Structure 1
């Protein structure tokens, strides 16, 4: 979905903002203003950042207005203030952050009435706020502060052996987003890639499967881990996965790092799918959108990539450090979780709502399944 008319834009802005406010409505100010973990922002920082981002793009750059609070620009710039230091900064308190959100929104609505909607900038700002509410949920999950009923990770029932794997023949796939809808710069340009034949699991890995991995020596068997993954596990004394035993046995495992996902894949005699494989198969997979799914792919630009509308959204993260995730999670707004959307994070991160879907190369005729 892409905003093209002002009436729809105004409705969508209001609905998105209400979604943000409802998410934290049950929390006391003290929980909103404290830093829950070094890798997460105080929740109130996210609120101020949402306001500053909207003011920058919709009031300042789209409508040509001066920034409402230029003194806050660096404070709420994600590159100027890394997450680890945000709890030590003099950021806006809860009441002031809400006031800032309201004041910026008044400017946005006035600008929309005067200048109309920009199909790229307004959609980008809407999705930016939706993405931040998922990030806020990550912090809330760490602290046990999620609203009642969350997380929403239902079981999917027992899988029949015949349904376990989807065979995908070799062929060309048009990877990325077309020009007829909103997409981020890293999803473009649409380009053809040759994808060899492969098989992919129809469902994400479940808690029950993860428990078997653990009980079978998953965190002590060196042969299943990469050198980097084993070093991470040893340095941080990673010996188990919190929460798996408490979840439904047939629900997808969640909060899995890329290192752990890769190790489990080796244990199963499988591997992680590439993002081209994932995207090619996505329309026929079960459980997409319950947990983000790690891929084997590092995050980089597609051939012919051009940054838009600003370099810092994608390009500064390109390289071998980050791995791509696909599909979305229970906390991802459907507007964001398109088939071509590329999420990315460091391989050691566990705070994201990420799980695992396995892939493998075709079996030889004499090889048992």
Structure 2
């Protein structure tokens, strides 16, 4: 079921816009460096950029040209090369990948044919075509790989290749440090968002006791206080698995940070700079976020708590699409879409705050939650189980809210991200919570 406000003409225009926006970003991320940087593997955790480029085209061909359009396969011989489940990232550089020029031509040729199909496809009839779901799925897929490529750019050694204006400066946030989220039921997930992915569905009622949530994400300055107090050297703040992990890998600060005398510096997209105290902390793993929360006498919010804080409107009792309401994100609401290459200062975007006054729940940094990645009651895999189902379980922790690297098409109040608790190369931060009975 889809909200009737999303009519076919609006969704077709939205599909065209989001596909075009995604391709412009892909082009930027793969044209700002020379060919050796496109074909190199900058980390065993990431694919060569040229693999992402051709994979984007291949998935678009498979789902939009073949599955929706009924066209014959253009390059069936490369399907296996760009199957993310057949080839782990570490082995992709050894595959006979399309060279950059050929990968660009292939992706461009696919897109040209897709635009013809977009004009002629009825947005009803099958689950793939209903409300243009397949087009929205592919736009989200490309933007997710754009975020992955931006992570690769951050991992890449060498001079700066990407530039973007900084977020607007804001006065130091002086509002309350936490907000009470009232207890009671709310609607979690969605059954009406037209392009929501399978793990966001179906909508269901959740009972959430009252709790307190940080008004803003945890900042670099706050995290530095944790470091200065011996946070990385005090075993009692860490889970056994977290303590073993940081000991084994000699982790003493967020990724990309290093000490220079009395100040902390970081490397950000090829530039070394002083760590800004008022920005949300970035590039921390779940274990680091959890340890900080324990040190602060708090905890990470559950996924249900996070979504209630982000979507529940106490006045109406309904769940909105975003903290500020149902309108799509605008620049005054959130830091999204690689518009900037860093988080905005904590307390930014007052027009994007929730009815309770919580800020930056969307954009800036992905926020770790306490929850494992699990299916909702009534979950059904669609259109393939490898998108979500194979990842369900305690091995993965849920992140919410998106980051500056996330496009709005792949970011909403119901959107769920997940990763291993050791991951730090992602654009991850966090905020903390506490139960009402805690001091």
Residue number in structure 2 paired with 1:197: 210
Q: Does 1:148 align with 2:167?
A: no
**Any idea what SS the aligned residue of 1:311 has?**
coil
Give the whole-Å Cα distance in 1 for the aligned partners of 2:46 and 2:279: 26
Residue 146 of structure 1: CA displacement?
5.2
Q: Distance in 1 between matches of 2:111 and 2:229?
A: 54
Partner of 2:102: 96
Matched, 1:286 2:359: yes
CA deviations on 1:200-251 (whole Å, 9 max, x unpaired) are: 0000011111111111111110000000101111121112223364221000
Report the counterpart of residue 147 of structure 2 in structure 1.
134
Q: 2:173 aligns with which of 144, 159, 175?
A: 159
Match of 1:10 among 16, 23, 48: 16
Q: Is the 8 A contact 2:368 2:399 kept in 1?
A: yes
For residues 154 and 329 of structure 1, the distance between their equivalents in structure 2, rounded to whole angstroms, comes to 16
8 Å contact kept, 2:214–2:433: yes
Residues 38-117 of structure 1: pairs in structure 2 closer than 5 A = 38-116=44-122
TM-score by length of 1: 0.93
Answering whether residue 201 of structure 2 is matched by residue 188 of structure 1, we say yes
SS of match in other structure, 1:313: coil
Counterpart pick for 2:395 among 321, 327, 331: 321
**Residues 153 and 290 in structure 1, CA contact (< 8 A), matched pair in contact too:** no
Name stretches of at least 5 consecutive residues in structure 2 with no aligned partner.
Answer: 124-128, 258-263, 266-273, 311-322, 324-353
Would you identify which runs of 4 or more consecutive aligned residues in structure 1 move more than 4 Å?
152-157
Q: Does 1:253 align with 2:326?
A: no
Residue 408 of structure 2: SS of its match in structure 1? coil
Greater CA drift, 231-240 or 37-46: 231-240
**Residue by residue, what CA displacement relative to the aligned partner does 1:57-96 show, whole Å, maximum 9, x if unpaired?**
0001111122211111011011011111112211111111
Give the aligned partner of residue 305 of structure 1. Answer: 379
The answer to whether the 8 Å contact 2:18/2:409 transfers is no
TM-score normalised by structure 2 residue count = 0.79
CA distance in 2, matches of 1:240, 1:10: 42
Q: Which among 341, 351, 354 is matched to residue 428 of structure 2?
A: 354
Query: What number of residue pairs does the alignment pair up?
Result: 363
